[in-house]
Amino acid sequence: MTKLEEILSKNKPKTSPPQTTESTKTENTEKQQEQQKPLPEASGMQIKTVGKAPPKTGFVLTKGRELLNLNIKPISYTIDDILCEESLIYLAGTPGSFKTGFMLHLALCGATLNPMLNHFKVHYKIKTLIIDEENGLRRTKHKFDRLVRGMGLQGTEEALDNISFQCIKGFKLTKSYVDDLEKIIEFYGFNLIVIDNVARCLIGSEQKAEDVSKIQGLLKPLIEKYHITIVIIHHIRKQDNEQYGKKRPPTLNDIRGSGDFGGQCDEMFMLDTWSSDMKSHIKTFNLYQVKSKDRQEMPPIVLKVEGD
């Protein structure tokens, strides 16, 4: 060491190590723990608002696990392939395409447990209310009588009282009429309601979606509350068969009026007249299922009806 370095070393101020107190140790430990703590987003933690009640709204929420644990019956059919439980169904067709007769036959099979169309199993008795704003008592009686006799019934069977009619009483698809319908359903225990037809009962225009959408808003709560099925009869547009060169099967787009008719229903069937033999008095109809929310649509069915 040179003399100059020795002099500088002697004159350098001496420093002592920093004094560590208990409070300093605690602060340093807390800072280290805070730095090591992961952020909520990185750790997948859920941030919960503690002590706050949910807002008051019209929402009724069901959580995923609650939904899975609900004691709800699986989707099933009252009449195989034809009548789904707890559903809004449309039956549409051209004029004279056996729409009313088809529903009368369905109601008879539901009341008597006879297979529908001699093929489709009826799983339990159906109690039907037919709201008719199209045909009236005289024509309804005529059609009903012919179908009863055609099934080999005498017309005195007690099971026929499972079918009730209201004909030409001005029923409308409004809240006041549907409120009365609810009282009738609750008192008599109907599980099938048939409305014949929508054009006579709808308030507003069948071309306007805002008017048509009211049907679902009025009827779906009844379906959910009383576990019933509602079938509404409607019409389809006249087909321009010249455009296709031959008669084509109807589609969901052929229903007359707003597309919301097809959107709001759970199932839709369509009937059309395929041929008519004047000598034998046999008419041939095709039944198409053009929509099913719950499964693949069934293939078309050919119906042959004898008589006028």
CA 200 to chain centre: 23
Put the strands of the sheet holding 301-306 in their side by side order.
163-167, 128-132, 192-196, 229-235, 88-93, 267-277, 282-292, 301-306
- According to the model, what pLDDT value does residue 274 have? 75
Tokens of 98: 């056996």
- According to the model, what pLDDT value does residue 4 have? 47
Distance CA 279, CA 300 (A): 26
Structural domains present in the chain:
87-306 (3.40.50.300)
Contact 101, 108 (CB under 8 A): no
pTM: 0.79
Question: Tens of pLDDT along the chain (308 residues)?
Answer: 555 455 445 555 555 555 555 555 555 555 555 555 555 544 444 545 566 888 999 999 999 999 999 998 899 999 999 999 999 999 999 888 999 999 999 999 999 999 999 999 999 999 999 999 999 999 999 999 999 999 999 999 999 999 999 999 999 999 999 999 999 999 999 999 999 999 999 999 999 999 999 999 999 999 999 999 999 999 998 765 444 446 788 898 999 999 999 999 999 999 988 776 666 678 899 999 999 999 999 999 999 887 65
In the chain, DSSP assigns E strands to 77-79, 83-84, 88-93, 128-132, 163-167, 192-196, 229-235, 267-277, 282-292, 301-306
In sequence order, what are the residues at sequence separation of 6 or more whose Cβ sits closer than 8 angstroms to the Cβ of residue 67? Answer: none
**Beta-bridge mates of residue 231:** 89, 194
- According to the model, what pLDDT value does residue 35 have? 55
pLDDT of 172-197, one tens digit each?
999 999 999 999 999 999 999 999 99
Tokens of 159: 């099971």
Coil, strand or helix at 240: coil
- According to the model, what pLDDT value does residue 6 have? 54
Sign of CA dihedral 207, 223, 292, 198: negative
Tokens of 184: 């009738």
Coil, strand or helix at 8: helix
pLDDT of 65-92, one tens digit each?
999 999 988 999 999 999 999 999 999 9
Phi/psi for 287 (5° steps) reads -110, 125
Which amino acid is residue 86, in one-letter code? Answer: E
- According to the model, what pLDDT value does residue 210 have? 95
CA 22 to chain centre: 71
